[in-house]
């Protein structure tokens, strides 16, 4: 059982280390010519994103054909992401922007352990521990025993 806990803790720290690595790479490369050429941006949790617009001659094409052409247009950007050393640590998702022919591509960190559900559960655990080890808990326990003692 202790080995399982150690593995969870190790995965947690691996996720933090990976996040710090991605942050460092993004900070180092965000002003470069290639970064600007692909019009890459990042948000506060260092997801990298860009928008691919179709060429003017492709605007009236079939949606499937447009999707294939957008995929071909994304290949140089994927190669750039690979060249800066992020391909092992990030996933990619692309989706069509509504009411447009453009595609939004987001490169995001692949987490092993840190998920919104685990953050919520750990926050609940820490809150419960703080409550049970506080003077408020001692007061509530004494008040409960006093009320029970009345009967």
pLDDT, position 84: 93
Question: Among residues 53, 52, 54, 44, which one has the least CA distance to residue 108?
Answer: 44
- pTM score, whole prediction: 0.69
Whether residue 146 is predicted with pLDDT greater than 90 in this model: the reply is no
Whether residue 35 is predicted with pLDDT greater than 50 in this model: the reply is yes
Whether residue 123 is predicted with pLDDT greater than 90 in this model: the reply is no
The pLDDT confidence band at residue 2, using thresholds 50, 70 and 90, is low
Whether residue 41 is predicted with pLDDT greater than 90 in this model: the reply is yes
Contacts of 94-102 spanning 24+ positions with Cβ under 8 A: 94/70, 96/67, 97/51, 101/53, 101/54, 101/58, 101/59, 101/66, 102/51, 102/52, 102/53, 102/54
pLDDT, position 143: 84
Average predicted confidence (pLDDT) for the chain = 84
Q: What is the pLDDT of residues 46-99, one digit of tens each?
A: 999 999 888 888 777 777 888 888 888 889 999 999 999 998 889 898 888 898
């Amino acid at each position: 059982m202790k080995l399982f806990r150690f593995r969870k803790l190790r995965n947690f720290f691996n996720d933090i280390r990976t996040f710090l690595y991605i942050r460092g790479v993004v900070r180092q490369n965000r002003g470069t010519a290639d970064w600007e050429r692909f019009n890459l941006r990042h948000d506060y949790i260092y997801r990298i994103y860009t928008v691919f617009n179709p060429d003017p001659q492709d605007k009236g094409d079939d949606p499937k054909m447009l999707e294939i052409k957008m995929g071909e247009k994304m290949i140089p950007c994927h190669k750039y992401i690979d060249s800066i050393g992020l391909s092992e640590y990030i996933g990619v998702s692309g989706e069509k922007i509504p009411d447009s022919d453009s595609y939004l591509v987001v490169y995001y960190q692949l987490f092993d352990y840190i998920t919104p559900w685990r953050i919520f559960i750990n926050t609940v655990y820490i809150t419960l521990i703080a409550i049970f080890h506080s003077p408020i808990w001692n007061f509530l326990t004494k008040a409960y025993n006093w009320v029970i003692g009345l009967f």
